[in-house]
Structure 1
Amino acid sequence: MGDPALSRRGFLAASAAAGVSMTALSACGGDSDGGSSSGTTTVEWWNISTTQPTKDVWAGLARQFEAQNPKVKIKVVQLENDAYKSKMTALTASGKLPDIFHTWGGGVLRQQVEAGLVEDLGERTAPWSEGLLKVAKEPYLIDDKVYGIPFDIGMIGFWYNKALFRRAGIAQPPTTWSGFLDAVRKLKAAGTTPIALAGKEKWPGMYYWAYLAMRTAGANALGKANDAKDFTGDGFVRAGQHLQELVDLQPFQKGFLGAAYSTPTGQAAAVGNGRAAMELMGQWAPVVQADAGKGLGADLGFFPFPAVEGGRGAITEVFGGGGGHALRKGAPQAAVDFLKFFASAATDTTLVKKTGVLPVVPSAESALTDPNLTAVQAQLKAATGFQLYLDQAYAPAVGQEVNDSVAALVAGSKSPRQVAESITKAAKEEQ
C-alpha cells in the first residue's frame, strides 16, 4: 500500500511535475463552505465519466438527486483519467479536495487519508453501506476504517473478436501464455492485427506486466514486493521477459505508441471497429468500444488472462478493482446523502442497465443481462486471489514508475531487469 509516512514534499514535487496551474484548482469544492446565503448547498462532484453513455447517465443522476433535494446543487466536474490523476495530485498537495471525488482506493487514498484530507465514512454510512458487496468495499478500507463507497467492481481480462479468431483458425481462447503467443502468431498470419494498445497513455500496457507478475510469482507477490521495497526477484524479471516475448512478435496496431485509449483512432475503437482482434481491458471495455467505434455485438467475447507454465500463480487470480467515491474532510451532509442515493438499489440498477457496470448492490444483480459482463462477474466470484491496480495499490510515485518502466519495455528502451530495478528504486525512495 506504500510507505505509511505521508510526504507532503513528495506531493508538491508530483504536482509541480504534473504542471497543473493553481487556477485549475481554485474551483475545488474544498475552497468553499459547502453552502451559500440563499440556503442552497452546492456540492462539487469530481469524476472520470467522460465517455458515453456514462457521461450523460451520471449527469442525469445528479439532476435527479437535485429534484429530490431542492436545496442542494450538484456541480459536476468530469475529467479524463490521466488529467484527473494529475489534478488530484496537485489538489492533494494544496490540501483541498473536492466535496465528492472518484477514488480507486489503495495507496493513493491512503496518502490522502494520512494527510488528514478525507472523511471517515464509517458511522455516517453504516446503516446502508454494510449491505454492499463485500469485495467491492475492500479497496476503500484503510486501517479498518471506511473512506470510500464503491459504485463498481470488476477485473481486467481479454476482450476479443470471435469472428477474427475463427478466421485465424483459433477454436477456443487460449488458457496458457504459450497458447496465447501461438494465437497472436495465427492472427498475424491471417493478416489481422492481434492486439490494440494505447501506448501513449501507458497504464493499459501496465496490465500485461502486472498480470504476468501475478502468474509467475503468485498473486501475493506484488503486495509483498511493495512492502519489502524490492521488485528484483526472479518472478518479476521473468514477467518482463514474458512481456518481451509478446513485444518481439510485434502484435500491436500501427502507431500504437502514439495511440490513446478512448479516442476515435485509439485502442478501444480499433477493437470496436474490427481492426484489431483483442485488447486487455476492464469490464467497461464494451461500452467504450461502442462509444469510440461501432462495437462488436455478438462477436465480442471475454477470457481471463492466461496462466504461465511453471508459474506460481493461477488463472483464477484476478487483477482489477472498481470505482468508488470519497468525501473531503468536513464535507456537508448533502454529500453523504448523495453517496447514499448513488449506492441505492434504484441507482445501481440504472448504472447496470445503462452503463455496463457490475452491481455492488446485491438486489441490482437481476439487471445484469449482458453475457460478457455475466462472464466477468462469474470470474470475480470464483477468484482465488485479487490484486488492485498497481498505479492505485502503490504510492503514486511507485505506481507511476511501474507505468513508465513497462511502457519503456514495450517501446524497446528498457530491459526486463531494468524495469524491475527502476520500480525497486522508486519504492525505496518512498521510504
Structure 2
Amino acid sequence: MKRISKITGMLLLTSAMLAGCGGGGGNAGTEPKENGEAAAGKEVTIKIMNFKVEIAQEFTKLKEEYEKSHPGIKLQVDTMLGGDDYNTQLKARFASDEMPDIFNNEGYSQMDPWVEHLEDLSDQPWVSDVIDIAKEPTARDGKVYGMPMNLEGLAFLYNKDLFAKAGIAKLPTTLSELEEAAKKLEAAGITPFINTFDNWFGLGFHALNNPMAKQPDPNAFIKGLNDGTATFTGNAIYEDWTKLFDLMIKYGNKNALTTDYNNASTQFATGQAAITQSGNWIQPVFDKINPNLNVGVFSMPINDDAALNDNVFVGVANNWVIYKDSPVKKEAKEFLNWLATSDTGKTYLTKEFKFIPAFKSIKADPTGVGSIGAEITKYIEQGKVLGWHWAKYPDGFAQESGASMQKYVAGKINRDQLLGEFQAAWDKMKAK
C-alpha cells in the first residue's frame, strides 16, 4: 500500500469539497486530567470523524450529554453519509492539514498507511478489558493503536412475519433450502430479496467476505493470493458463492443497481421484501422506520454443506483511533476512556447505539442491542461464527471487485470473467 505522504498532492483538490459539522463541549473521562488545553483552562474542541451513519442521531445525543457533564470541551462530530467516501475524505483532510482528532480505522492492512500517524493507546485503562479477538485488528509490534467500536454480525436478515405467511418453518442452512424458501415467498406474492447493489461497499466488503471466510484457512489463502500460489479462478468456494449471488439476483428486486442503502432499508422495514444482507448495525435504522418489525437472522449458504454454512460473520465493526499530532490528544483519550468505562458511556454503547460490546465487563442487554444483536449474540455463544477479512485486502481491491460484481449483475460479464477480474484486481493492487 502507498504511504499517505505519497498521495498528498493528488488529494489537495479533493479537500476543498469537504464540509464539517458544528459541535459542543465536554471535559474529562474517568482518567485524571493531564496537561492538555483543558487543563490550562482553555475551551477545547475534539474533532471526531464518525464512520457509522446509523448512529448519527444517537451520537448527537451523546455529544450533548457529554458536553453538559464536562464543561470546557466541545465535541465536533462529523458523520460521513457514505461508507465509500470515508477513506477518501480522511486522506483529503490529511492532505489539507485538517485531520480529525479521533477517527475510525478498520485495522489490519487498512491501518498500514496510517500507523505512523496514530497514537499508541497501549497504556489506556480500557485495553485490558477488550475481548482478545477485538484487539487483533489494531495490534502492531506489541502495541495497541485503536479502541474497538463494537462487535457486529453480518448475515441474512429476514422478516419473521413474511416467512410465516409463506409457510417457511425451518430457516435455510443450505443453498437448496434457501432457493426453496425463495420460491415459497414468491408464491405468496412476497419479494424474497431486497438487494442494494448501487455501490461497491456491500458488495466488495460484505458479500465477498462470504467465500473468503469459508476458505479452510482464510489467512493462508490471502497469503497465497499475495505470493501467487492461490487464485480466485478455479477456487471451488468462490465458484459456489457465485451460485448464491445468482440466487439473490434472480429472486431479488429488479432495480437493485439503483437501489441505495436508505431505500433498501425502508423497503425491508416496511415489509416490501423478506430478506436482506445486513447486520445488527442497522437495528437503529429499522427501529426508526418500524419499531414493530419482527426481524431475525440466518446464515448465507453458498452450497449444500450445512456444516460449512450454518454460521454468521462476526468481527470488529471499526476502531476509534487518535491522530498522534492532535493538539488535544490527551482530551481525546479521556473521551474514549469515558465512553468505555463510565456508566453513561456504557449505556450509550449498548442501549442507544445498540452495539454488541467488545469489552469483557460490558454485557449486551437483549432489549438494548435489539432483536438482531440478540440473535447474533446467540450465534457467538454457540460458536457458529466466521470472521471478517476485508480489512486484510489490498487497498482498492474491494472497490474494484464491487464494480466487477455490478457488471455481473448487469449481465456484462459471466462467472469466469467475474472471478478473473477479481484476480486481476488483486494482482494489480497487492504489495510488490
Q: Same fold (TM over 0.5)?
A: yes
Instruction: Write the distance in 1 (CA, Å) between the matches of 2:122 and 2:166.
Output: 53
Structure 1 residue 50 corresponds to structure 2 residue 50? no
Distance change >3 Å, CA 131–CA 379, structure 1 → 2? same
Structure 1 residue 134 corresponds to structure 2 residue 139? no
Aligned-residue Cα RMSD (Å) equals: 3.2
Distance change >3 Å, CA 409–CA 330, structure 1 → 2? same
Distance change >3 Å, CA 406–CA 216, structure 1 → 2? farther
Asked whether the equivalents of residues 47 and 77 of structure 1 are also in contact (C-alpha less than 8 Å), the reply is yes
Superposed displacement of residue 47, structure 1: 0.3
Instruction: Write the distance in 2 (CA, Å) between the matches of 1:158 and 1:247.
Output: 11
Instruction: Write the distance in 2 (CA, Å) between the matches of 1:6 and 1:429.
Output: 17
Structure 1 residue 316 corresponds to structure 2 residue 316? no
Distance change >3 Å, CA 306–CA 296, structure 1 → 2? farther
* Residue of structure 1 aligned with 2:279, choices 266, 271, 282: 282
Asked whether the equivalents of residues 97 and 117 of structure 1 are also in contact (C-alpha less than 8 Å), the reply is no
Equivalent in the alignment of 1:343: 340
Equivalent in the alignment of 1:223: 222
Equivalent in the alignment of 1:107: 109
Structure 1 residue 85 corresponds to structure 2 residue 84? no
Equivalent in the alignment of 1:361: 359
What are the superposed Cα offsets for residues 17-53 of structure 1, whole Å, 9 maximum, x if unpaired?
xx83435279999xxxx959972222101103434xx
Name structure 1 gaps, 5 residues minimum: none
Give the SS at the match of 2:113. helix
Equivalent in the alignment of 2:33: none
Matched ranges for 1:32-431 at <5 A: 39-51=42-54, 54-80=55-81, 81-92=83-94, 97-113=99-115, 116-123=116-123, 125=124, 127-206=125-204, 207-215=206-214, 219-220=218-219, 223-228=222-227, 230-235=231-236, 237-247=238-248, 250-262=250-262, 266-291=263-288, 293-297=289-293, 299-306=294-301, 308-309=303-304, 313-316=308-311, 318-331=313-326, 332-346=329-343, 347-365=345-363, 367-369=365-367, 370-383=370-383, 386-390=386-390, 392-430=391-429, 431=431
Distance change >3 Å, CA 82–CA 64, structure 1 → 2? same
Matching residue's letter, 2:18: A
Matching residue's letter, 2:209: A
Superposed displacement of residue 289, structure 1: 2.2
Superposed displacement of residue 320, structure 1: 4.3
Matching residue's letter, 2:259: A
Distance change >3 Å, CA 276–CA 112, structure 1 → 2? same
Instruction: Write the distance in 2 (CA, Å) between the matches of 1:73 and 1:335.
Output: 11
Asked whether the equivalents of residues 156 and 275 of structure 2 are also in contact (C-alpha less than 8 Å), the reply is yes
Distance change >3 Å, CA 316–CA 276, structure 1 → 2? closer
Instruction: Write the distance in 1 (CA, Å) between the matches of 2:145 and 2:137.
Output: 9
Superposed displacement of residue 376, structure 1: 0.4
Q: Which moved more, 1:314-323 or 1:216-225?
A: 216-225
Equivalent in the alignment of 2:27: none
Equivalent in the alignment of 2:29: none
Equivalent in the alignment of 2:31: none
Instruction: Write the distance in 2 (CA, Å) between the matches of 1:387 and 1:223.
Output: 14
Give the SS at the match of 1:412. coil
Matching residue's letter, 1:46: M
Instruction: Write the distance in 2 (CA, Å) between the matches of 1:239 and 1:225.
Output: 20
Give TM-score, length-normalised by structure 1. 0.83
Q: Which moved more, 1:168-177 or 1:273-282?
A: 168-177
Asked whether the equivalents of residues 406 and 419 of structure 1 are also in contact (C-alpha less than 8 Å), the reply is yes
Give the SS at the match of 2:114. helix
Name structure 2 gaps, 5 residues minimum: 24-35
Give TM-score, length-normalised by structure 2. 0.83
Q: Which moved more, 1:36-45 or 1:74-83?
A: 36-45
What are the superposed Cα offsets for residues 338-382 of structure 1, whole Å, 9 maximum, x if unpaired?
110111252122221122211223333153334432220122344
Superposed displacement of residue 79, structure 1: 1.4
Instruction: Write the distance in 2 (CA, Å) between the matches of 1:259 and 1:39.
Output: 47
Matching residue's letter, 2:416: R
Asked whether the equivalents of residues 316 and 382 of structure 1 are also in contact (C-alpha less than 8 Å), the reply is no
Asked whether the equivalents of residues 157 and 298 of structure 2 are also in contact (C-alpha less than 8 Å), the reply is yes
Instruction: Write the distance in 2 (CA, Å) between the matches of 1:318 and 1:277.
Output: 20
Superposed displacement of residue 277, structure 1: 0.2
Superposed displacement of residue 272, structure 1: 0.3
Distance change >3 Å, CA 197–CA 307, structure 1 → 2? closer
Distance change >3 Å, CA 365–CA 294, structure 1 → 2? same
Instruction: Write the distance in 2 (CA, Å) between the matches of 1:120 and 1:97.
Output: 17
Give the SS at the match of 2:261. coil
What are the superposed Cα offsets for residues 254-306 of structure 1, whole Å, 9 maximum, x if unpaired?
422111112xxx11111100000011101122322233x32443x21111223
Asked whether the equivalents of residues 197 and 259 of structure 1 are also in contact (C-alpha less than 8 Å), the reply is yes
How many pairs were matched up? 408
Instruction: Write the distance in 1 (CA, Å) between the matches of 2:180 and 2:410.
Output: 22
Matching residue's letter, 1:64: E
Matching residue's letter, 1:61: L
Instruction: Write the distance in 1 (CA, Å) between the matches of 2:266 and 2:419.
Output: 32
Distance change >3 Å, CA 46–CA 222, structure 1 → 2? farther
Matching residue's letter, 2:42: G
Instruction: Write the distance in 2 (CA, Å) between the matches of 1:247 and 1:64.
Output: 43
